[in-house]
Structure 1
Amino acid sequence: MTKDELIAALRLQNIPNIGDVTAKKLISHCGSPIAVFDDKPQNLLKINGIGTNTLKGLFDAEHMEAAENEYQYIQDNEVSYNYFMDADYPDYLKHCIDGPILVFSKGNIDLANRKIISVVGTRNITSYGTAFCERLIEDLAPLNPIIVSGFAYGVDICIQRAAIKYNLQTIGCLAHGLNQIYPKVHSKYVPQVHKNGGFMTEFWSNTNPERENFLKRNRIIAGMTEATIVVESAEKGGSLVTADIANSYDREVFAVPGRAGDKYSTGCNNLIKQQKAHVLTSAADLIYLLNWDVENMENTTIQKQLFVELNEEEGIIYDLLQKKGKQMLDAIALECKIPVYKASSTLLNMEMKGVIRPLPGKLFEAI
């Protein structure tokens, strides 16, 4: 897109009464975002479904100024963008009528791979859910899929950390602008995500993580992937909304079953019971139902490191966890005589090396 075309698309995106469906209708009728603003209001009103309320504020100078400011942010911060009519726009998302006219991204995202799935679930992930995420990604790794999630607490960050561990491309769909990370505690994972994947959003740089934005974000998570997996969910939750959206797009939905009565398995069990999701007990279920090519996969194995190089402090911490079992961060720092801030960063490095894992209750254990 040229500068003027991008600014015109941004301008359309900023007008409150014009959503993505209407914006696409206007662009389709006029031929381009620029042509929308070059046309006369009386001509636009002839378009089916376009009324005076829809066009209210269309030519206001404030939207032009806002678009120019956002364009400058994009240029100054090397933000990538994809227009819905461009070849590099997420392919699956092109088929969603309410997909954003523009999405913005940072990192090293490569959507050429057709094997792309989203994994969502509760913020309050259990040890059962954590173990399932780890095993799922380990088993899928030979097929090199792209893993999409929301970079939030619980299932989201668990699955994306597992993707990082097995060197899979992972994309975090954000409910805010690219100038921040929410929750802030996950900022420590940003470099690893940028290295092999990145972040994507429809929201401008000045947009904060408001509640309604998470619901809008969910349609991108569902829309840009061929299948959505719900790992754990209570009876109500955002992940169930994502599953419903995926179903509305005629995408495959999977749910991990749990024991009857378990709070964070209720949502998944209901999806299965209501025939809104396939049962997912292992990677094999996903591979079979998505008809992924697994030729020669039996001969492909994930080479586990038998000998991982640890520095002195990592070795001390690993020996402690091997000897005493699960330990909290403060206890590790005290026992190993390492400052807490340094112990925290050391544990993160060890986690990336696959020699320890975090547990609920801020505990760590050796693998």
Structure 2
Amino acid sequence: MLEEELLYVLALQRAKGIGDINAKKLISHCGSAKNVLKEKQQTLQKINGIGAFTIRHLFDIKNLKDAEKELKYIQQKAIETLYFKEKDYPEKLKHCIDGPILLFKDGTINLLNHPVISIVGTRKITSYGRTFCEKLIEELKSYNPIIVSGFAYGVDICAQKAALKNNLQTVGVLAHGFEEIYPKSHKKYMAQINNNGGFLTDFWHNDALTRENFLKRNRIVAGISEATIIIESAEKGGSLVTADIANSYNRDVFAVPGRASDTYSKGCNNLIKQNKAAILTSSKDLIEMLNWELETTLTKTIQKQLFVELDEIEQLVYDFLVDEGKKMLDVISLNCNLPIHKTTTVLFNLEMKGIVKPLPGKLFEAI
């Protein structure tokens, strides 16, 4: 993204009362963040959901001044930015209506061609939860998943340490800017995580931690992954909120059961009882429900094939997916200029030929 556009994206992100949903709406309508802030106010007010209150905050001159300072920090610290309209933005987050318009990245994160799962739970992890978490990640090692969590006490840091131990990438999603460290006792893990994964946040570098930030953080944890796993939770807790968010995104949610009398199993047991999560008793449950074994077998089979004959339309769709990565059915249809019913048929044929695979959320990906 060009420096000038990044400046306006930051200003739009900083505007009070706008939020990511309205910001995306404005950018979609105007074509760019710069165009939004150059547009006439009366024109913007014609957009559904954009009223006088929103407009007043949108054109506050302080937003651009603050954005200039943040841009300077980004450049000085070589912070990588991930914009929701660009290819390097996490694919699954693109399909979350309230996903952040801009993420800040630190480290060596590479989300391409890896399954991504989030593991969260109580900050007061028990020996039962710790043992289950460590064993689960060890058994998933051969599938090379990226382990996402919130870098918090308990289950979060247990999962991230287990990922490092098994040489897997791990991503910590922060509820504050990069100049803050919470909890401070986890500072000792940051270098190792940065060398084998890293950190993401949508907070500016000097944004301090507040209780409200955790909810914003949790939507990224849930949205970036194909599945969210709750290891342990009391009857109320932040990990249950993350599970609800993941369900709202139509993502798979798993919960580890425990004894009815155990305080930190009650939340997981309730999720299972209320059909808000699938029961997770071993790595096998996860592998089977996410079709990882099938995908691995299919990939190995495809690698043995030297030639696959495609007709002109099949080649068009396949080339689009190779170039653009995972895409939804309607996006493929629109970009390939094909009706939905024709696109569905072509994708089915490509799947049968073993070079395209369907994913949750009506997504398709070239193998």
User: What is the TM-score when the length of structure 2 is the normalising length?
Assistant: 0.80
Q: Aligned residue for 2:25?
A: 25
Q: Aligned residue for 2:135?
A: 135
Letter in 1 for 2:258: G
Report if aligned partners of 1:113, 1:146 keep a CA contact under 8 Å in 2: no
Segments ≥4 residues shifted beyond 4 Å: 294-297
User: Aligned partners of 1:250 and 1:57: how far apart in 2?
Assistant: 33
Report if aligned partners of 2:180, 2:206 keep a CA contact under 8 Å in 1: no
List runs of 5+ in structure 1 lacking aligned partners.
298-367
Quote how far apart the aligned CAs of 1:48 are: 1.2
Quote how far apart the aligned CAs of 1:193 are: 0.1
List runs of 5+ in structure 2 lacking aligned partners.
299-367
Letter in 1 for 2:99: G
Deviations 1:79-118 (A, max 9, x none): 1110000011000000000000000010000010340000
Quote how far apart the aligned CAs of 1:49 are: 1.3
Deviations 1:12-46 (A, max 9, x none): 00011100000000000001000001110000011
1:277 paired with 2:267, answer no
Letter in 2 for 1:171: V
Q: Aligned residue for 1:240?
A: 240
User: Aligned partners of 2:211 and 2:116: how far apart in 1?
Assistant: 26
Q: Aligned residue for 1:331?
A: none
The 5-angstrom pairing of residues 1-367 of structure 1 reads: 1-293=1-293, 295=296
Report if aligned partners of 2:146, 2:168 keep a CA contact under 8 Å in 1: yes
Identity %: 63
SS at structure 1 position matched to 2:206: coil
User: Aligned partners of 1:233 and 1:113: how far apart in 2?
Assistant: 31
Quote how far apart the aligned CAs of 1:296 are: 6.7
Give the alignment's Cα RMSD to 1 decimal. 1.1
Quote how far apart the aligned CAs of 1:178 are: 1.1
User: Aligned partners of 2:138 and 2:297: how far apart in 1?
Assistant: 17
Q: Aligned residue for 1:328?
A: none
Q: Aligned residue for 1:329?
A: none
User: Aligned partners of 2:13 and 2:130: how far apart in 1?
Assistant: 38
User: Aligned partners of 1:98 and 1:57: how far apart in 2?
Assistant: 19
How many residues in Structure 1 have an aligned counterpart in Structure 2?
297
Report if aligned partners of 2:176, 2:207 keep a CA contact under 8 Å in 1: yes
Quote how far apart the aligned CAs of 1:180 are: 2.3
User: Aligned partners of 1:181 and 1:83: how far apart in 2?
Assistant: 24
User: What is the TM-score when the length of structure 1 is the normalising length?
Assistant: 0.80
Letter in 2 for 1:216: K
User: Aligned partners of 1:205 and 1:32: how far apart in 2?
Assistant: 24
Letter in 2 for 1:224: I
Letter in 1 for 2:288: Y
Quote how far apart the aligned CAs of 1:293 are: 3.3
Letter in 1 for 2:180: Q
SS at structure 1 position matched to 2:8: helix
Q: Which has the higher helix share?
A: 2
Report if aligned partners of 2:116, 2:146 keep a CA contact under 8 Å in 1: yes
Quote how far apart the aligned CAs of 1:58 are: 1.7
